[in-house]
Amino acid sequence: MSKTIQNAEPGGGIDSQWAWFTQAGNDSLERGQLHDAQRYYERALTEASTMFDKVQSEQAACHYAPMTYNIAAFNLATLYSDIGNRQMMHRYARSALERLIEVAEQRNVPQELRLQCVRHLGRAVIALEQLCPEARTHPDYRILVASADLLQRKFDMPAGLSSMPSAAASAANVH
């Protein structure tokens, strides 16, 4: 199995349900129970998605929503890549990039959420290129990767953020 499956330690925070489902998916994957892993990873993605709805009422959601969504989507993409279902792998890899870009471009969400989405775009591109090395030239990703690069530049300058890791950065920099 691929090494990009992300670990999560269940705790008591806003991400505790997401972490529990992610860990249960990881455990199922280790036991070779792919259907169960898929089911748990899908629940983790649902939990991550609902965090975006909580950003107005819970400050922590601004930090956790982009990270957890990115990890959950790429756990599913990696699982499908490992079992040879490239169509589903592409579906989940695209969803990670699309969601982060979509939220980062919205002016009616908290600035912190937008910044966190941009910060995780670099990680999403790295994870994508691990799964699909031809991503920068692949028709399904070329525009998304270019949009991610533009958003990173846009947010780096006025906010004074350090540059995101390049897509060539090592996997050790991913979550």
pTM of the model: 0.78
pLDDT in tens, 29-43: 999 999 999 999 999
Count of residues making up the chain: 175
pLDDT in tens, 120-145: 888 888 888 888 888 778 777 877 87
Per-chain mean pLDDT for the chain:
81
Is residue 3 scored above 50 in pLDDT? Answer: no
Is residue 150 scored above 90 in pLDDT? Answer: no
Q: Does the CA dihedral 43-91-73-59 come out positive or negative?
A: negative
121, 97 contact by CB (below 8 A)? yes
* Amino acid occupying residue 93: A
pLDDT in tens, 46-105: 999 999 999 888 888 899 999 999 999 999 999 999 999 999 998 999 899 999 999 988
Lowest mean pLDDT among 3-7, 51-55, 108-112: 3-7
> What's 111-164 look like in SS3?
HHHHHHHHHHHHHHHHHHHHHCCCCCCCCCCHHHHHHHHHHHHHHHHHHCCCCC
Give pLDDT, residue 134. Answer: 81
Give pLDDT, residue 175. Answer: 33
The tally of CA atoms less than 13 A away on the side-chain side of residue 154 is: 14
Q: How far is it, in rounded angstroms, from Cα 13 to Cα 6?
A: 18
Average of per-residue pLDDT across 110-116: 91
